[in-house]
Structure 1
Amino acid sequence: MKHRFIFLFFLIVLTSCYQVERNCSDFKTGLFYSEVIINDKIFTSTFSRTDSIQVEFYNGKVDSTQIRWINDCEVVYKTINPKNMAERKDVHLKILKTTDSSYTFEYSYVGENFKQKGIAYRKK
């Protein structure tokens, strides 16, 4: 019993010291490409982001969205010219982890619980 307590104590101490790197402000603007896996299929897109607009190139189409940063790591996207009901829904994206050239994110429609994950890479 005493050994379990000591092991549990060290486990808590070691995991509490680990912090995921999140330098989100490094990814607020720039040119990126992303990968999202849906049903074992990889979907890629390229996008350019300024402080207030993101233009995405996907599957031969261009989509433009207004962006509103909630904080350094969370943003809400609103399609500028929605063509259907799905495009009228705002999308919430949260950056979970960053590296020097990429970030891992999760996103969902605002108000919905189902989330997808992906990775975005800074283009050089």
Structure 2
Amino acid sequence: MKALLAILLCLTLVSCYNNERNCADFKTGEYKFNYIVDGVEKTARFIRTDSLSINYYDGKVDSSSVRWINDCEFILKTLNPKSNAEKDPLHMKILSTDGTSSYSFEYKLTVKKPNRPLRVEKGVAYRIK
């Protein structure tokens, strides 16, 4: 009985923990993040304003419109898509923040494709400026 009470107390304390989410601090700025393509880790950077995101990766520059849903979620839509895959908007969500230096995020397509599993990718963005 004491063990059950101890477990319930621990679960109660753990369930009260909330991630820090000061998302408004990360609406604009310059950031970098690491990603993996074919087993090779690469670094990309982006500059985001209230309505625009300019992405620099693999020697390419790409721009997307930004539409904020709330302080922690926004939709990215490529301005000049070069393929059908680039036409699909992404739903971005800030999961937690670490002071003013970084935030963890997840992203997925805004609309699930028929007969395909919905992929949710996660990452961490680090503030440069």
Map of 1:119 onto structure 2 = 124
% of aligned pairs identical? 46
Closer, same or farther: CA 59–38 of 1 in aligned 2, 3 Å = closer
In 1: Cα distance, 2:9 partner to 2:38 partner:
39
1:87-106 → structure 2 map (5 Å cutoff): 87-100=86-99, 101-106=101-106
| Paired AA for residue 110 in structure 1 | T
Cα RMSD over matched residues? 1.5
> Which consecutive residues of structure 1, in runs of 5 or more, have no partner in the other structure?
none
| Paired AA for residue 94 in structure 1 | K
| Paired AA for residue 108 in structure 1 | K
Range moving further from structure 2, 103-112 or 30-39? 30-39
In 1: Cα distance, 2:128 partner to 2:25 partner:
13
Map of 1:60 onto structure 2 = 59
Per-residue deviation, 1:40: 4.6
Secondary structure of residue in 2 paired with 1:66: strand
Deviations 1:20-76 (A, max 9, x none): 111111000011111234565423211101000000000110000000111111111
| TM-score, normalised relative to structure 1 | 0.91
